[in-house]
Amino acid sequence: MSQSDVPEPHPFEPGHGPASALLEPVEKVRAVWITGVVLVNLGINAAFFGPLQVLLGQQAAHFDEGQKEAILALVTGCGAVVSLVANPLFGAFSDRTASRFGRRVPWVVVGAILGATALVALAGAPNVAVMTVLWCLVQAGANAMYAAITAAVPDRVPVPQRGTVGGLAAMGQTVGILLGAVIAAVVAGNFAAGYWLCAAALLAGVVLYLFKNDDPQLPLTAHPTFRLGAFAKGFWISPARYPDFGWAWMTRLLVSTGNHMITLYLLFFLIDAVHLRETENIDPAFGVLILTGLYAITVIITSVLGGRLSDRMGKRKPLVIASSVIIAVASLILAFAPTWAGGLTGAVVLGIGFGAYLAVDFALITQVLPTAADRARDLGVINIANSLPQVIAPLIAFPFVTYWGGYVSLYIAAAVIGLLGAVFVVKIKSVD
C-alpha cells in the first residue's frame, strides 16, 4: 500500500481520542440491524422507481397527452440533477451531525419525511411546474436517506462482513425496484393512489432501522469549525493523493455506463432487432417485463452469494473483475444473438454479473475511503459514478444505434466499456 492510499488519521480515530463513531468497526453486526438497513434500501427504491418507471409518465400524459415525452424528460432530468448534487451534499451534512441520535439516523428520518410528503403532494400537483419541484424534493429526500444509510455500513460493519452486508443491501434495492413496479401495476393507472402507496413504503422501510440502528454519537468537537470554502473544497478528492479511490470511482463509472447502455434501448431492441411480436407473438412491452424480472431475480441471488463469497475469500478484486467480464459477455450475447432466446440468456447472464458486482464492488469501495470522518460525503462522491451514467449513456448509445452499426455495435461498445472497468480495478493497490 502506498503512503497516499493510507486513510488520513483523524484526531478521534483509534489512538487519538474517544469518538466511537470514527473507529474502525470490529464487532459483527446483528441480523436485526442488517434487516433494518435492507428495509431502508427497499423503501427508498420502491418510492423512487415506482414513480420513475410508470407514475410520472402517467401524470405527464394527464397534463398533456401530446407533450408527455417532453414533460417526462423535463421532470426526470431536473430530478437527476438534484440527485447528483444531493447525495454528496447530504452525505457531508451527515458526517458533521453531532446529535444524540447519531450521525445517520437524523438524515434517514428527515429524508423519509421530506420524500413521503413530496410524494403525497405529487398526487395533487396542479401543473407541470409544481410536479417538477415536488419530484426534485422526492429526489432530495431519497438521496439524503441513501447517503446516510450507505455510510452506516462502513460505520458499523467490520471489513470481513462488508461483502455480505453489501450484497443484502443490493438485494433490498432490487426488491424495492420490483415493489415499485408492483405498486404501479396494482393502481392500474391511478397515479395519485400510486404516489400514496410509494410514500407508505418509504416510511414503513425506516421503522426497524430507527429502533435498531446502534448509531454511535459524534462529539461536537470531532469536526473543525464550519467554513464554507473548506467544506466546498472537500468534495474534490484528489486522485493523485488518493489513487485507489480515484480508480474505484472510475471503475464504477465505466461498469455502470456499460450496464445502462445494455438496458437503455431494450424495448426498441425487442421491436427492431428481435422482431418479438412477429417471431414469438409476444408484446415487446411484456417482453421487457419478462427480461427485467429475470434480471432482477438473478441480481438478488448473486448479490447475496457474491458478497458472502468475497468475505470468505478475503478478496474483492478478482470477483469485481470476474463480474465485469460476465456483464460484458451478456452484452455480447445480445449483440450476436438478437433473438428471444438470446435476450432471455443475456438477461440472466447480465443479472449474474451485475448482482455480484454490486455487492463486491461496494465492499471494495468502503475499504478505499480516504477518512472515517467523511465516509458519507465520499460515498456520495462515489454515487456520482452511479448517477452520471444515466446522463452520458444515452449520449454514447444514440450514435451507435442510429449511425454506427445499430444494436450490434451498441452492445459491443457496451462490452468494451465494461471491460475497461475490469482493467482499471487492477490499479487499486490497497485491497486484494
CA distance readout (Å), 419 to 266, 271, 366, 430: 21, 28, 22, 21
Lowest-confidence pick of 44-58, 190-204, 219-233, 279-293: 219-233
CA-angle at 256, arms to 250 and 258, nearest 5°: 105
CA-angle at 62, arms to 201 and 57, nearest 5°: 50
Q: In this predicted structure, what is the pLDDT of residue 222?
A: 67
C-alpha dihedral sign at 276, 282, 284, 289: negative
Q: 221 falls in which pLDDT band (50, 70, 90)?
A: low
In tens, the pLDDT along 73-123 reads: 888 888 888 988 999 999 999 988 888 888 899 999 999 999 999 999 999
**Exposure of 336 by Cβ count < 10 A (0-12 exposed, 13-18 middle, 19+ buried)?**
exposed
Question: How many alpha carbons lie under 13 Å from residue 172 in its C-beta half-sphere?
Answer: 25
Domain ranges of the chain: 20-218, 243-425
Measured distance CA(159)–CA(377) in Å, rounded: 19
CA nearest neighbour of 174 among 54, 291, 298, 300: 300
Mean pLDDT of the 60-72 span: 86
Q: 347 falls in which pLDDT band (50, 70, 90)?
A: very high
Higher pLDDT, 202 or 282: 202
Mean of the per-residue pLDDT values for the chain? 88
Q: At 93, list the grid cell.
A: 451534512
Q: What CATH number labels 20-218?
A: 1.20.1250.20
Measured distance CA(381)–CA(35) in Å, rounded: 26
Q: At 295, list the grid cell.
A: 434480471
Q: Which CATH class is domain 243-425?
A: mainly alpha
Bridge partners of 99, per DSSP, are 102
Q: 21 falls in which pLDDT band (50, 70, 90)?
A: low
Instruction: Report the 3 state secondary structure along the chain.
Output: CCHHHCCCCCCCCCCCCCCHHHCCCCCCCCHHHHHHHHHHHHHHHHHHHHHHHHHHHHHHHHHCHHHHHHHHHHHHHHHHHHHHHHHHHHHHHHHCCCECCECCHHHHHHHHHHHHHHHHHHCCCCCHHHHHHHHHHHHHHHHHHHHHHHHHHHHHCCHHHHHHHHHHHHHHHHHHHHHHHHHHHHCCCCHHHHHHHHHHHHHHCCHHHHHCCCCCCCCHHHCCCCCHHHHHHCCCCCCCCCHHHHHHHHHHHHHHHHHHHHHHCHHHHHHHCCCHHHHHCCCHHHHHHHHHHHHHHHHHHHHHHHHHHHHHHCCCHHHHHHHHHHHHHHHHHHHHCCCHHHHHHHHHHHHHHHHHHHHHHHHHHHCCCCCHHHHHHHHHHHHHHHHHHHHHHHHHHHHHHHCCCHHHHHHHHHHHHHHHHHHHHCCCCCCC
Other Cβ atoms within 10 Å of 1 Cβ, number: 9
pLDDT over 50 at 6, yes or no = no
Measured distance CA(285)–CA(162) in Å, rounded: 37
Domain 20-218 matches domain 243-425 at the CATH topology level = yes
What Rg, from alpha-carbon coordinates, does the chain have?
A: 21
User: Which residues have CB under 8 Å from 65's CB, separation 6+?
Assistant: none
In tens, the pLDDT along 392-417 reads: 888 888 889 888 888 999 999 999 99
Q: In this predicted structure, what is the pLDDT of residue 38?
A: 96
